[in-house]
Structure 1
Amino acid sequence: MKMMKKQAQAGFTLIELMIVVAIIGILAAVAIPAYQDYVAKSKFAAALAEVSSGKTAFDVALNDGETPGTAPADLAGMGLATAATANCTLGLTATTITCDVEGGPATVSGGVITLTRADNGAWSCGATGVDQKHIGPTGVCTAG
């Protein structure tokens, strides 16, 4: 009579591999939307930093009795980019600096950041076409 030998298991079984794949899928389902939100927030923050850099020069021009115009030379005089950058296309009026957000995720790309200067010198920030969750902490800017 032959004796049957018990063979040792070599490698993983199919069910073990399926469990690992399911766990990876669950982790990816949570991580990918969180990463996309992070990318959108960082693009908005970069665009806001770019447009905010002109506030001081804008105030100086108004205090010197000048009225900022919309020409590229006026943007350059404020220390702002005259051509579209990786983050936005800047615009200027007598009381506002605007940034048309570009090059980011669809949730922020196409949005507009508007910095408005009040007569008392206070600045307010508004954003259109952008979800409030991508703007950052409350008080930084208001979605509208």
Structure 2
Amino acid sequence: MKGQGGFTLIELMIVVAIIGVLAAIAIPQYQNYVAKSQVSRVMSETGQLRTAVETCILEGRLAAADCDTGATDSNLLDGNAVTIAFPLTTQATIIGNFGGNASAAIADNQLTWTRDVDGSWACATDVDAAFRPTGCAAAAGGGGGGGGGAGNS
């Protein structure tokens, strides 16, 4: 006689337990990966505005009405917009406040590009070190505020 083929209840329970353990490890790692990639994306999106801001400074177009940066909306930013501190001077600030569709781990943080008087740009962010991209330093004082008198471009 031939025995019935199939899985026993114990075998099925073991498979379910293994899948549960793998999911418990994989899901948090995936969420960390998503948050880190979102910070890198905002760093790139805001970093691209440096050229436009630099051009406005060099051409003397320092007011918001005179300087069209060509910034587009981002669903990872609060209010979908990047903030640029106007009027521009030899020092400038580009701020991206995380919000919108950003991961909960970074939703209340910000990323800032700052231009010094020598024309060098530096990136700083107050996101957790686990999510901070290479080339973007920790924000002084742990983040928050930035750019009084700022206006959206």
**What is the TM-score normalised by the length of structure 1?**
0.80
Q: Within 2, Cα distance between the matches of 1:132 and 1:143?
A: 8
> Greater Rg, structure 1 or structure 2?
1
| Alpha-carbon shift at residue 98 of structure 1 (Å) | 0.5
Shift of the 127–37 alpha-carbon distance from structure 1 to 2, 3 Å rule, reads same
Q: Within 1, Cα distance between the matches of 2:118 and 2:133?
A: 26
Aligned to 1:3: none
C-alpha contact (below 8 Å) 1:101/1:108 kept by paired residues: yes
Q: Within 2, Cα distance between the matches of 1:59 and 1:136?
A: 23
Q: Within 1, Cα distance between the matches of 2:117 and 2:7?
A: 72
Q: Within 2, Cα distance between the matches of 1:74 and 1:101?
A: 27
Counterpart of 2:70 (choices 65, 68, 79) is 79
| Alpha-carbon shift at residue 66 of structure 1 (Å) | 3.3
| Alpha-carbon shift at residue 132 of structure 1 (Å) | 1.5
What is the identity, as a one-letter code, of the residue corresponding to 2:106?
Answer: V
Q: Within 1, Cα distance between the matches of 2:2 and 2:52?
A: 80
Please report the RMSD computed on the Cα atoms of aligned residues, expressed in angstroms: 1.9
Aligned to 1:92: 84
Name the % identity.
Answer: 38
Aligned residue pairs total 130
Q: Within 2, Cα distance between the matches of 1:99 and 1:12?
A: 54
| Alpha-carbon shift at residue 143 of structure 1 (Å) | 2.5
Q: Within 2, Cα distance between the matches of 1:34 and 1:74?
A: 45
Larger relative contact order (C-alpha < 8 A, sep ≥ 6)? 2
Aligned to 1:121: 119
Q: Within 1, Cα distance between the matches of 2:98 and 2:52?
A: 21
| Alpha-carbon shift at residue 78 of structure 1 (Å) | 1.2
What is the identity, as a one-letter code, of the residue corresponding to 1:33?
Answer: P
Range 99-108 or range 111-120, more displaced: 99-108
| Alpha-carbon shift at residue 74 of structure 1 (Å) | 5.6
| Alpha-carbon shift at residue 9 of structure 1 (Å) | 4.3
Aligned to 2:103: 105
C-alpha contact (below 8 Å) 1:132/1:142 kept by paired residues: no
C-alpha contact (below 8 Å) 1:100/1:112 kept by paired residues: yes
Q: Secondary structure at the match of 2:35?
A: helix
C-alpha contact (below 8 Å) 1:116/1:125 kept by paired residues: yes
Q: Could you report, residue by residue, the CA deviation over 1:66-105 in whole angstroms, capped at 9, with x for unpaired residues?
A: 32x4x4x466x11213xx5312221111310111112211
